[in-house]
């Protein structure tokens, strides 16, 4: 790595000599064309003005698109032999530069490893490049669906979601991706001159969750499914955002009410929900929800005791080309605003499970006037119902953004800073899992997998290789 780290990353790649590498991967699809390399070296990091400055010029030297695992192994072997960094690219819908090659080298585009290997009741095994949308489309006819998906379900791949995401639509019931039981198995390829295939089962799958692909190249995943439910998309308008939060919290805690999404959104954010214009009355905050059809009447009964009004209610359907309700929650909320207003960015919050509503009020008090607009995503963590949040923040300077972070923290809200590129800085606890660190020494001894993302990793070296 010292060799790679010493190189200045430049706008047309890391400057790695490719001839020997390309000879080694002959027959595998590669692209060295600059426009294509630039396009496939990016994700949605540009939501952050800070990351944008930091990442916009990072470019891979070559994009490789394997067709199957044996090609992945050939690429891994070639990278190990020639000491070239390898960064895995999934759907590239992340916001933290997860698939940006900080030091150039190879970007491994997983789009062709998109096969569904098998289905059983409650379980699916898929290649890492399968799109979440396609997986759901394949499992729903059998009565099952993915337990959770990001708001980018239409574009995201399962491998990228597991490697980067911490939860999403469905986490209000099943908790975060890392909760025990939410990943059954992962198959990985090591980055060595003679790559191994390792099948991680049970809790071992935790070794690859939210590691940005630094702990092995994920080629397949066995994911537990949820019974496919008849979901109803519902929007409820409230005069006061806090009333919406309070109602959503009550529904979140009502274990008899089946739900997949509970997202209270502060006005004027709904102004930007153009696909649901008529359901977003002027001046009113919203709750976007996905409720099990059999629970809708109970939901409405509890709603009757509040000041909320249902403005939209329709069976959930997810078809290409139509923006579903969940594309107005999680970090898609930020995207809806960015479409017309490039002056905003966002934060990632975890509200306290105890005193949740009070924390939301305290934040509103501190940042009145529109600089910070809150929306919450209810989620179970460690068996407790709480809410994450991805507030939309008017951006002025990095200093002010850090002031705002401290303001949230003073209200008892934890921040996972999304304006940094390393796993550690982006974690709520500012560290990487010890297990993952140790495991990385085994599977990537030279530290060539997505280098720069796991800051605390120091390769012990593998003098024998290359």
Nearer to a second copy, 11 or 294 (CB): 294
For residue 256, what are its two tokens?
Answer: 């008899």
In DSSP notation, 77-142 reads: HHHHHHT--EEEESS---SS-TT--TT-SEEEE-TT---EEEEETTEEEEETT-BHHHHHHHHGGG
298 counts as binding a second copy under rule CB under 8 A: yes
Percent helix, strand, coil in the chain (nearest 5)?
A: 30, 25, 45
202 counts as binding a second copy under rule CB under 8 A: yes
- Residue 207 is given by DSSP the state G
Per the CB < 8 A criterion, the answer to whether 386 and 357 are in contact is no
> What's the closest the beta carbon of residue 376 comes to a second copy, in angstroms?
16
Element (H, E) at 442: helix 434-443
Q: At what angle do helices 241-253 and 356-366 cross, to 10 degrees?
A: 160
409 counts as binding a second copy under rule CB under 8 A: no
Per the CB < 8 A criterion, the answer to whether 404 and 367 are in contact is yes
302 counts as binding a second copy under rule CB under 8 A: yes
Nearer to a second copy, 27 or 383 (CB): 383
Question: How many chain residues are in contact with a second copy, going by CB under 8 A?
Answer: 48
383 counts as binding a second copy under rule CB under 8 A: yes
Nearer to a second copy, 204 or 465 (CB): 204
310 counts as binding a second copy under rule CB under 8 A: no
Which residues, listed in sequence order, are joined to residue 199 by a DSSP beta bridge?
Answer: 187
461 counts as binding a second copy under rule CB under 8 A: no
Cis, peptide link before residue 58, omega less than 30° from 0: no
294 counts as binding a second copy under rule CB under 8 A: yes
Q: At what angle do helices 356-366 and 398-410 cross, to 10 degrees?
A: 140
Nearer to a second copy, 70 or 382 (CB): 382
Q: Which of 209, 219, 224, 220 is nearest to 98 (CA)?
A: 209
Site string for a second copy, 125-164 (x = CB under 8 A): ------------------x---x-----------------
Nearer to a second copy, 225 or 335 (CB): 225
198 counts as binding a second copy under rule CB under 8 A: no
Can you tell me which of 10, 275, 314, 384 binds a second copy, judged by CB under 8 A? 384
175 counts as binding a second copy under rule CB under 8 A: yes
> What's the closest the beta carbon of residue 184 comes to a second copy, in angstroms?
6
Nearer to a second copy, 82 or 249 (CB): 249
Can you tell me which of 15, 24, 193, 292 binds a second copy, judged by CB under 8 A? 292
Find how far residue 271's CA is from the centre of its chain: 25
Binding site for a second copy (CB under 8 A): 120-123, 143, 147, 173-175, 179-182, 184-185, 201-204, 224-225, 227, 229-230, 250, 252-258, 292-295, 297-302, 304, 380, 382-385
């Amino acid at each position: 790595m010292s060799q790679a780290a010493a190189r200045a990353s430049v706008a047309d790649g890391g400057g790695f000599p490719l001839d020997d590498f390309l000879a080694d991967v002959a027959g595998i699809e590669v692209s060295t064309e600059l426009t294509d390399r630039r396009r496939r070296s990016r994700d949605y990091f540009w939501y952050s003005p800070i990351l944008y400055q930091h990442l916009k010029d990072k470019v891979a030297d070559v994009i490789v698109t394997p067709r199957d695992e044996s090609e992945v192994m050939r690429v891994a072997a070639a990278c190990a032999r020639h000491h070239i960094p390898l960064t895995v690219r999934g759907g590239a819908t992340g916001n933290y530069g997860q698939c940006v090659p900080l030091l150039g080298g190879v970007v491994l585009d997983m789009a062709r490893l998109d096969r569904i290997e098998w289905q059983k009741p409650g379980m699916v095994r898929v290649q890492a490049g399968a799109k979440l949308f396609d997986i759901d489309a394949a499992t729903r006819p059998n009565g099952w669906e993915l337990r959770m998906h990001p708001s980018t379900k239409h574009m995201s791949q399962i491998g990228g979601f597991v490697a980067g995401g911490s939860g999403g639509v469905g986490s209000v019931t099943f908790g975060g991706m890392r909760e025990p039981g939410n990943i059954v198995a992962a198959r990985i390829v090591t980055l060595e001159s003679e790559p191994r295939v390792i099948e991680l089962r049970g809790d071992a799958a935790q070794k690859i969750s939210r590691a940005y692909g630094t702990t092995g190249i994920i080629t397949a995943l066995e994911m537990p499914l949820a019974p496919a439910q008849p979901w109803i998309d519902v929007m409820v308008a409230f005069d006061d955002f806090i009333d919406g939060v309070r109602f959503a919290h009550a529904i979140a805690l009502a274990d008899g009410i089946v739900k997949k999404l509970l997202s209270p959104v502060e006005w004027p954010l709904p102004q930007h929900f153009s696909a649901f214009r008529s359901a977003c009355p002027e001046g009113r905050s919203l709750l976007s929800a996905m409720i099990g059809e059999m629970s809708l009447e109970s939901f409405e009964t509890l709603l009757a005791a509040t000041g909320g009004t249902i403005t939209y209610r329709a069976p959930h359907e997810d078809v290409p080309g139509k923006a579903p309700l969940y594309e107005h929650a999680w970090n898609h909320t930020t995207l809806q605003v960015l479409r017309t207003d490039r002056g905003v960015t966002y934060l990632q919050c975890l509200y306290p499970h105890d005193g949740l509503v009070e924390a939301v009020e305290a934040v509103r008090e501190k940042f009145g006037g529109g600089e910070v607009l809150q929306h919450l995503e209810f989620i179970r963590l460690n068996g407790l119902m709480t809410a994450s949040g991805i507030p939309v923040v008017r951006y002025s300077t990095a200093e002010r953004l850090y002031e705002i972070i401290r303001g949230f923290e003073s209200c008892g809200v934890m921040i996972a800073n999304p304006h940094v590129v390393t796993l550690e800085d982006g974690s709520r606890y500012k560290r990487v899992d010890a297990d993952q660190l140790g495991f990385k020494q085994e599977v990537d001894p030279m530290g060539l997998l997505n280098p720069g993302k796991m800051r605390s990793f120091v390769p012990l070296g593998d003098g024998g290789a290359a």
